[in-house]
Structure formats: structure tokens, C-alpha cells
Structure 1
């Protein structure tokens, strides 16, 4: 990961406190000041880091699910979904504690502090590392423009996925196996959320419909 020295961000409550963290905690060495350490203890240490999900492409051939693999190939997502490596929950929580996100020359830059060092990584660098290509229909949650909705009709999507039109809260139990797996990758990896993974939201339905129809998704 590229190391870039960046200015220390200000405290959420005002000026930053430079008081060092207490020395009686095993993770003290990973924090630059007491303010970040206290935030970690109150907001991030209690949270459980969800184990990452990953793709085993051979599984689909062995179980005769070629259509789903084809969908992921067309979206250029296979290499990203195959990523599997060791991860360290404490460091993840520490990074989120100090995470700062800002735009720099139309690029989204993520920066965080580990100990006295500040690290930064731009979204364009992440895209290159993961071989992701953001050049399709832009997906936005909650405030999607009418222009984006062109050629999409919820009724058609419901018909494709065998969901009775008008079902108030459709669940993955209505989907066939391949579409259920697609929804799994969508809600756990591509657009992850903390709960209600079995519920098919309107955004889920539209993204799945576009992916199955071969439309590139940004």
C-alpha cells in the first residue's frame, strides 16, 4: 500500500488532542493520540468485523451454474470476487477509527492512521489493483435519477426473477439458485450491508436485472 504523509485531520469535536494514549492497553502502539484511542474503544472495538466472502469459480462448473459465472465475467468482477487473503480485525477497526475520505482532483482518496504513520489510497489505485472498470450504468441508492431509470421496469424484473408483482417484501426464497447466489454476492460483497441479506430491495432488483441483461454496472 502506498505510504503518503498527510496532515493529521482535526478532531470531530474541534481541535485535535495530542495527548498520548495510555500505555496499559495492548493496542496502544497503533494510535497516535488518546482521542483516536478513546474513539476506537467506544465506537469500533465493540463492532464485529464480518469475515470476507470470496468466489470459487470451479464451484460453478462442478455444480452446473455457468450462467452466473458468465454474468460475473461480463461485469469484469471475477478477479475481484476471487480475492482471498489473511485479514486482521483489530487493524481493520483501527483503520476505520481514523478513516478520512476526501476528493482530490476528481478522485476519491481514503486515508487512515496506524500509529504515527498516515496511509492514503485513491479509488483509482484500488480500481487498478482489483481490475475493476467503472464505465457502465451508474448505480445510486435512494436518489437515482429518472435518466438512469430509462428502459427499466420493475414489473419486467419481477417477471424475470419469478417474484409476484406487488409482493411488499420479497425475499431470496422466491429466486432460483443462480439468482439467489447473485443476490448473495451483491449484498455481501459488491454492495454490502449489515443486515436483511435475505430481503430483495428495489435497488437489488434493478442491479440484478441489469446484470442478468448484460448491462455494465458502475
Structure 2
């Protein structure tokens, strides 16, 4: 490295030091880039893609390795296995970020409730049976939320939450998962990141979270 004194001696009077520094030329721009237009059949799709999805980061999927939790003594993974969710939680396959972005750009629901995606001029329909075939998940019945819980389930939010929280925080107004026991906290993580992932507020403890954890 050049000392400051050497820099001063090497600088001629009346000339800026910056002029003596050799600046490397800017990198050459790639003249030909990937043409995304082949994915779309209309200009509107291209505009939506460029505006909302082209530069959006794709988060890598979370994958659960059940045997890891046996050694530390966790029990929540046994509940998930009993529900038959392990094949879905363990899916770890390659994915293509560009196609993921195009998928969300063109995705829409048909009048009969199927998910339809147009890619490269071809319409792809995803039906309920496809979810069951690919992910081995049941896809049937009514979505259970606090507003649609049948009385015969005998769900009591207070009692359910009491069974999940640590003893030292009982009686407090709980709003995040930091108050949960470790097994229930791991179960909540699996719920909000893999089973029913959401974009933010991972630490927030929603009423639906309590209900679904209680069901599992």
C-alpha cells in the first residue's frame, strides 16, 4: 500500500490527485440477456411480471428433517408424523426461480375453483386431486377458523393456550410465540413456515395458530 507521504510527493501541483489514479474501465454489459417474453402471451402479463415479480427475491423452501429432533428430546414431530404430514414436510426438490415468478404472475382461479397458470402459451390447471397426489395431503371439507369452528369440537381458546405457554408467563396478555413451551414453539414454527406459510409476522401468535396447533 502507498503511504500518505508518498501520495503527496507523487502529486503534481495544480493537478487533482484523482487524475493520477488509473480508473479501470466499466465492465462490459452483456449484450444479450434472457428473453422472458417466451413465458407470456400478452403484453399485460409482461407488464405485471416486470412491475411486481421480475426483481422479487424467491425465498428458499423450508424443509423439516424429522430424525434431527429425536436426539434433543422433542415431541412435536411425533404429532406431525401421526397426522401424516411428514412426506410433505420432507419435500426437498430443485426449483426454478424464474418459473416461480412467472407462476405468480399468471396464476388465477377458474370459476370452478381450480388454480390455472398460463406459461409459454399453455394453460395448466391444478385441481384438488393434484395436491393430494403430489404432496399426499388431504384436501376436503370446510376450512376451520375461529369463526367457523363447530361446537362439537369443544374448542376452548383459553384452555388450549394454557396448555402451550410457560408457567412463568401465565395470566399475561400473550401476543407472540416467545411465551410458548419449546415443543409448541417448534410446532408453531412448522405451521407458519411450512404448513401454512405467511410472508411476515412469524412471531405473532394468532387465534388461528392456537386453534390449528390444538387440532394437531
Which of the five TM-score ranges fits, normalised by the shorter chain? Answer: 0.7 to 0.9
CA contact 1:161–1:179 (8 Å) conserved in 2: yes
Identify unmatched segments of 5+ residues in structure 2: 1-31
CA distance in 2, matches of 1:131, 1:49: 24
1:157 maps to what in 2? 160
1:11 maps to what in 2? none
1:184 maps to what in 2? 189
Q: Does 1:110 align with 2:112?
A: no
CA contact 1:54–1:81 (8 Å) conserved in 2: yes
For 1:24-35, list aligned pairs within 5 A: 26-35=35-44
Deviations 1:143-202 (A, max 9, x none): 622525841111101210126566445212112222111101110111111101011111
CA contact 1:169–1:199 (8 Å) conserved in 2: no
1:10 maps to what in 2? none
Deviations 1:17-58 (A, max 9, x none): xxxxxx976312211121100111112224322211011011
Report the more deviating stretch, 182-191 or 129-138: 129-138
For 1:1-218, list aligned pairs within 5 A: 26-65=35-74, 67-104=75-112, 108-134=113-139, 138-140=143-145, 144-145=147-148, 147=150, 150-162=153-165, 164=169, 167-211=172-216
Identify unmatched segments of 5+ residues in structure 1: 1-22, 212-218
Q: 1:109 to 1:35 in 2, by over 3 A?
A: same
Q: 1:40 to 1:68 in 2, by over 3 A?
A: same
Structure 1 SS opposite 2:185:
helix
Larger radius of gyration: 2
Structure 1 residue ranges, 4+ long, deviating more than 6 angstroms after superposition: none
CA contact 1:158–1:165 (8 Å) conserved in 2: no
Q: 1:58 to 1:137 in 2, by over 3 A?
A: farther
CA contact 1:162–1:175 (8 Å) conserved in 2: yes
- Length-normalised TM-score, structure 1: 0.75
Structure number with the higher helix fraction is 2
State the structure with bigger RCO (CA 8 A, min sep 6), 1 or 2: 1
Q: 1:173 to 1:146 in 2, by over 3 A?
A: closer
- Length-normalised TM-score, structure 2: 0.75
The total of aligned residue pairs comes to 183
